Chain A
Amino acid sequence: MLLTNPDLGLFVFIIIGAAAVFCSLMVVHAKNIVHSAVYLAGLMIALAAMYVTLNAEFVASIQVLVYVGAVVTLILFAIMLTRRSEVP
């Protein structure tokens, strides 16, 4: 509805792209591994939003369902069930 406007569509795309780049940098640079996992979830949601701006809603839904719903949850689960030697 709104995204059909070319200027606004480009604006939204740039914002989402910046968020995706920021999140992916933070996945690598975060000191705490749980923070990394949360940034990974943010990155996946930003990618899904990018698919929506490209009118690919099905891919976006599957992206969120598989990556955020399953992969990131599994990663967080694994982090919490493993023993850590020192508290960061």
Chain B
Amino acid sequence: MTQTIYDNIVYLLSLVGISFGDSIVPKIIIVLFIAILILVEVSLMVMFFTWMERKVLGHIQVRRGPMITGPHGLLQPIVDGIKLLTKEDITPKRADKWLYFIAPLIVFVPSILVFIPMPFGQGAIVSDLPVGILYIMAISAISPVGVLIAGWASDNKYALLGSLRAVAQDISYEIPMVLTVIGVVLITGSLSMQDIVLAQGEKTWFVFLQPLGFIIFLIAAIAEMSRIPFDLHESESEFVAGFFTEYSGMKFAFFFLAEYAHLFGISAIMATLYFGGWQGPLIPGIPVVIMSVGWFTIKVLAIVFFTIWLRGTVPRVRVDQILSIGWKVMIPLALLNLFITGLLVAGGVL
């Protein structure tokens, strides 16, 4: 039942009359094509998010946001991209050249790899890994290393302080996040993302079964995405721009892309774990694949809209507050949620 994009492409090709036996080259070409497809999908979503963020923030602040390039400024992200590509790429004189070069990649690559077990729709998943959600948590644990390296290699006190803050925040909010995910996994009985979605089709959305878990996950997710109530690593009034102060040009663009890909990734995880993933009412006549991808995209966009809304309305918290909330409130609550869920599952209620 768990079809993948690969299976679908092979099926489509066989409809046209192309088939291949054991030869390996066409398989590699298809896999590369899927990789490019995911990269394009993530880039398009990132471009749309940057436009959406400016527009929504603009309307919250009673202005119109970008209006010049394209209808309602829709082409603004492309113009921004060209600007970043043509900017001078500066490396500070005292920077550690090799680490300075590699840090944006260490941050960027995991934020894309997260999408491998992500069910974009029915039959639209790159690979339904049996350890899906655990893999996602493991891969997203790599990027703090890149953040620390970026801050250290820049040889700038603001960058170093910003990176230390960012990583302290990341690792302290990763624990409640993983603990709440265990609640979902307990109910489903499987780590696979596709199984989690299908279980929500049978029961109900897990946001209703795990209300406390959802609230903890939401707060931890906003902290992991470093969105505004918790965006301490780049608080402009304290550090210049956090750990990427010294970066410019294409390297800066990679950090920027990684940040928004991270936003997309965590919103997608939240939609999958708590809002039923690609499940939704189907309209007869439209293929299931297109409808399910549509529902998934709508859910992700709603979550992204919520984070932008928060950015427009909530002030930033202090660094000691954020860490003490993380360790003294979030982790005990997450453990409580896990305890209650475990009791209910063991009692056969859920």
Q: Do A and B bind each other?
A: yes
- Cβ of A62 within 8 Å of any chain B Cβ, yes or no, is yes
Provide the residues of chain A in CB contact with B131, threshold 8 Å. 57-58, 61
Q: Is the interface of B mostly helix, strand, loop or mixed?
A: helix
Q: Tell me the smallest distance from the CB of A3 to a CB of chain B, in Å.
A: 11
Instruction: Give the secondary structure class of A's interface.
Output: helix
Closest Cβ neighbor of A41 among chain B residues = B145
CA separation between A32 and B97, bound complex, in Å?
Answer: 13
Tell yes or no: B316 within 8 A of A by CB: no
> Do A38 and B99 touch (CB < 8 A)?
yes
- With A65-B141, A68-B141, A69-B138 known as contacts, the answer to whether A2 contacts B148 (CB < 8 A) is no
Instruction: Tell me the chain B residues, 207-264 only, with Cβ under 8 Å from chain A.
Output: none
B129 contacts A34, C-beta separation under 8 Å: no
User: In the complex, what distance in Å separates the CA atom of A38 from the CA atom of B31?
Assistant: 29
Contact B138 A34 (CB under 8 A): no
Taking the complex as formed, is B314 at the interface, i.e. its CB lies under 8 A from any CB of chain A?
Answer: no
Q: How many residues of B contact A (CB 8 A)?
A: 30
A72 neighbours in B (Cβ, 8 Å): 145
CB-contact partner of A69 in B24, B141, B164, under 8 A: B141
Which residue from chain A places its CB closest to the CB of B24 in the assembled complex? Answer: A5
Mark interface residues in B79-103 (1 if CB within 8 Å of A CB, else 0): 0000000000000000010110010
Contacting residue for A1 out of B127, B141, B142, B144, CB 8 A: B127
Which residues does chain B contribute within 8 Å of A47, judged by CB atoms?
none
Chain A residue numbers with a CB within 8 Å of B129 are: 57
Interface check B47, CB cutoff 8 A: no
Q: Which chain A positions have C-beta within 8 A of B28?
A: 2
Question: Cβ of A5: which chain B residues have Cβ within 8 Å of it?
Answer: 24
* Residues in A neighbouring B152, C-beta threshold 8 A: 34, 76, 80
5 shortest A-B CB distances, which residue pairs? A69-B141, A65-B138, A64-B138, A61-B138, A61-B134
| Chain B contact residues, CB within 8 Å of chain A | 6, 24, 27-28, 31, 96, 98-99, 102, 127, 129-131, 134-135, 137-139, 141-142, 144-145, 148-149, 152, 160, 164, 167, 171, 174
What are some 17 contacts across the A-B interface (CB < 8 A)?
A1-B27, A1-B31, A2-B28, A34-B149, A58-B130, A58-B131, A60-B138, A61-B131, A64-B141, A65-B134, A69-B144, A73-B141, A73-B144, A73-B145, A73-B167, A76-B145, A80-B160
